[in-house]
Structure 1
Amino acid sequence: MSQHVYQSIVIGAEQSGLTASYELKRRGIDHIVLDANSTPGGAWQHRWDSLTMNDVHRVADLPGAPAPGASSTQSNKAIPDYFARYEKEFELPVVRPVKVTSVRNAQENPQLLEVQSENESWLAETVVSASGTWTHPFLPYYPGAEKFKGLQIHAAGYTFADVFKDKKVLVVGGGASAVQLIGEVAHTAREVLWATRSEPSWRKGPVDGLASVTWVESRTTQGLPPSSVVTSTGLTLRPQEEFAKNLGIYERRVSMFEELTEHAAKWADGTVREFDAIIWATGFRYAFDYLAPLKLRSEHGGIALESVKNNVQGATTAVKDARVKFVGYGPSASTVGASKAGRQAAIAVRKFLIENK
């Protein structure tokens, strides 16, 4: 008996993956969604308890169902519940837990894609990559890091501020997560110091969202690493960060250290500062190593996507392989962008299927 061939397989069940599934189903496209998590919620279910719906940036609506608004409810409860209800209401074909290990040309028919996990494989005409970044935290190496005896965590492993009560804490990283975690930890830590590679870019005036996304889209279509939208929009402080601001923590930023010892960090000028804990707010990398067999990366290190006229968040199709679509990558790396890209990916899948009958 021959193996079933899906018209599309979506990898990942967060905002972009669920939107793509909804739009594929609406177009009558035979597909499944493979999710590495054992329960609905994607990365949201792993975020720290103190991050409430009042703290997160507005979560975009999934098609056909309004997202929960601002409240004191934990985001790691509210969003997974929202996703679970959505999957059930629209009967989306989510299969979990499935950790995809590779996507490659099928041996018997190279025109098809074979999606593999550790225990199973599926065949498909197209694949929609919606796996995000949460499972790939970036942790830079500094000499002596393995010797440091204090607490070291990446932002992905942060739980709550009480862990740092009465500790001297070094927060590393120049993005929004560093700013937010400093705002929390400042309430319990004895001392907080902020270290970044370069001068933080603070927001000046209102955000030109279109210009920011257009900049990211331009990089993506050229095959450059997409970078983050906040790089162009700049950082800003919320009311939750006022306490840390009044302590002067954001003004006492220092350059990156060169080395770690058992209890301290050492700078190039000879400065040595002791710390009890380090929070690495150093970002994430896109979690699609499983696509390596298809060799989609450009010589610039990114994956080039085909631009869509008059739709800067519509770039979803890989230039090197039109069978592969990306959502939540580059210009669509936000809940709003992910929802728009999910629809565009479904349109692109349908177009591909028609053209390749």
Structure 2
Amino acid sequence: MSRTTQVVVIGGGQAGLAAGYHLRRLGVDFAVLDAQDRPGGAWRHAWGSLSLFSPAAYSSLPGRPMPAQVGAVHPDAGHVAAYLTDYERRYGLPVHRPVHVTGVHRDGRFLRVETGSGDWRAQAVISATGTWWRPFLPAVPGRADFRGRQLHTVGYGSPRDLAGLRVVVVGGGNSGAQIAADLAYGTELTWATRRPPRFLADDIDGRALFDAATARRRALDEGRTDTGGVASLGDIVAVPPVRQARDAGLLKAAPMFVRLDRGGVVWADGTRADADAVVWCTGFRPALSHLAPLGLRGRRGRIAMDALEGTRSVAEPRLHLLGYGDWTGPASATLIGVGRPARDAARAVADLVR
């Protein structure tokens, strides 16, 4: 069975819903294809204690402010998933799930979106699959020899799962700091980072990060000096649990080890630490395997984007990428940041299909 529409949006998380909101307002015929069996995107799969960097008022998608969570300044992942569920229903967005997209192909004047339940033909495609589904694990020597438990951020649930164990948390970003803080009280914790942790000032939240990313993008577009964006401020937002563990002296980072052995981790000077589990908080890569048939990746694996229309593929103008990071719009991987590039992508494809 093959269906035809003007625009297919691949991914029903926050980026896909933001795109759908703007496409609906523009009167475009579209479909959102989501691989998940329920609304909420990646937020439904996050660890239990994960919370936003900002209050609800600064964490909203276009058109619908996120309501505050009772008893919490920074909403947790469950609250965000419920908000996305309500958002999808409120605007009657045409989300089809579960639909697994396996490839996007050129098909004359159409793009053919191949799925496990039939093909879709569209004049334009917005890819909004995010990064959660493609966790990155570094090639550290001895990783295959380690006899303990290894899990990535995506597989971490709660401190109860590792209670009483000797745990090494790897990674100096936000997920590493938050999970290390989570485990600091009930495990024998080692927190390993490639460089000393850089905590942002305690009063900086997601709104300030969005402003910094936007200012950097504007400076680059205007040919001015690179402001450094978010990276110039630090790597770790001091959300309350991180701040509490840090101030209690429980977040003391060790340098990154050079290898693992059967029972633990080993540093360059031969020092080692026994471990029962390693939690790799080592980031993600864009989930773009469905675009492979288009042959768009450059030498470094990155799809070249139009300098003026930051979400549009240079080599395939009918394709827009949304929500993968600053290279697809300033702070576009965040709730507050995805609205503007979603609007721009929706307007561009609306002009194209009319």
**TM-score after normalising by structure 2:** 0.86
Aligned residue number for residue 140 of structure 1: 138
- Structure 2: distance between partners of 1:301 and 1:3: 31
Alignment of 1:315 with 2:310, yes or no, is: yes
- Structure 1: distance between partners of 2:134 and 2:126: 19
Aligned residue number for residue 46 of structure 1: 45
- Structure 2: distance between partners of 1:3 and 1:242: 53
Alignment of 1:263 with 2:263, yes or no, is: yes
Kept in 2: contact 1:40–1:83 (CA 8 A): yes
Give CA-to-partner distance per residue, 1:72-99, whole Å, 9 cap, x none.
5773432222222222222111000011
Aligned residue number for residue 190 of structure 2: 193
- Structure 2: distance between partners of 1:271 and 1:149: 19
- What amino acid does structure 1 have at the position aligned with 2:198? S
Cα 1:229–1:173 change in 2 (3 A) is: farther
Kept in 2: contact 1:175–1:230 (CA 8 A): no
- Structure 2: distance between partners of 1:197 and 1:15: 31
Aligned residue number for residue 166 of structure 2: 168
Q: Secondary structure at the match of 1:273?
A: strand
Aligned residue number for residue 203 of structure 1: 200
Aligned alpha-carbon RMSD (Å) = 2.8
- What amino acid does structure 1 have at the position aligned with 2:5? Y
- Structure 2: distance between partners of 1:29 and 1:246: 52
Kept in 1: contact 2:184–2:251 (CA 8 A): no
Kept in 2: contact 1:186–1:243 (CA 8 A): no
After TM superposition, the structure 1 = structure 2 runs for residues 140-289 of structure 1, keeping only pairs within 5 Å, are: 140-189=138-187, 191-203=188-200, 209-215=210-216, 230-234=230-234, 235-251=236-252, 253-289=253-289
Cα 1:350–1:155 change in 2 (3 A) is: same
Q: Secondary structure at the match of 1:88?
A: helix
Kept in 2: contact 1:217–1:315 (CA 8 A): no
- Structure 1: distance between partners of 2:104 and 2:21: 22
Cα 1:233–1:69 change in 2 (3 A) is: farther
- Structure 1: distance between partners of 2:70 and 2:134: 29
Aligned residue number for residue 348 of structure 2: 348
Aligned residue number for residue 225 of structure 1: none
Cα 1:320–1:41 change in 2 (3 A) is: same
After TM superposition, the structure 1 = structure 2 runs for residues 13-162 of structure 1, keeping only pairs within 5 Å, are: 13-52=12-51, 55-58=52-55, 60-72=59-71, 75-106=76-107, 109=108, 111-162=109-160
Kept in 1: contact 2:200–2:238 (CA 8 A): no
- Structure 1: distance between partners of 2:170 and 2:211: 29
Kept in 2: contact 1:47–1:75 (CA 8 A): no
* Larger CA deviation: 65-74 vs 33-42: 65-74
- Structure 1: distance between partners of 2:91 and 2:155: 32
- Structure 1: distance between partners of 2:70 and 2:102: 38
Give CA-to-partner distance per residue, 1:85-115, whole Å, 9 cap, x none.
2222221110000111111112xx2x21111
Kept in 1: contact 2:61–2:336 (CA 8 A): no
What is the count of residue pairs matched by the alignment? 336
- Give, in angstroms, the shift of residue 121 of structure 1: 1.0
- What amino acid does structure 1 have at the position aligned with 2:110? L
- Structure 2: distance between partners of 1:150 and 1:174: 22
Give CA-to-partner distance per residue, 1:320-346, whole Å, 9 cap, x none.
211011111222121112122211111
Structure 1: state its 5+ residue gaps.
Answer: 221-227, 309-313
Q: Secondary structure at the match of 1:293?
A: helix
- Give, in angstroms, the shift of residue 229 of structure 1: 6.6
- Give, in angstroms, the shift of residue 156 of structure 1: 1.1
Cα 1:349–1:188 change in 2 (3 A) is: same
Cα 1:208–1:16 change in 2 (3 A) is: closer
Cα 1:294–1:230 change in 2 (3 A) is: same
Cα 1:146–1:245 change in 2 (3 A) is: same
- Structure 1: distance between partners of 2:343 and 2:79: 24
Identity %: 38
- Structure 1: distance between partners of 2:297 and 2:215: 21
- What amino acid does structure 2 have at the position aligned with 1:348? A
- Give, in angstroms, the shift of residue 247 of structure 1: 4.8
- Structure 1: distance between partners of 2:259 and 2:198: 25
Kept in 2: contact 1:212–1:233 (CA 8 A): no
- Give, in angstroms, the shift of residue 70 of structure 1: 4.1
- Give, in angstroms, the shift of residue 134 of structure 1: 0.8
- Give, in angstroms, the shift of residue 352 of structure 1: 1.7
- What amino acid does structure 2 have at the position aligned with 1:294? L
* Larger CA deviation: 289-298 vs 2-11: 2-11
- Give, in angstroms, the shift of residue 258 of structure 1: 2.0
Structure 2: state its 5+ residue gaps.
Answer: 222-227
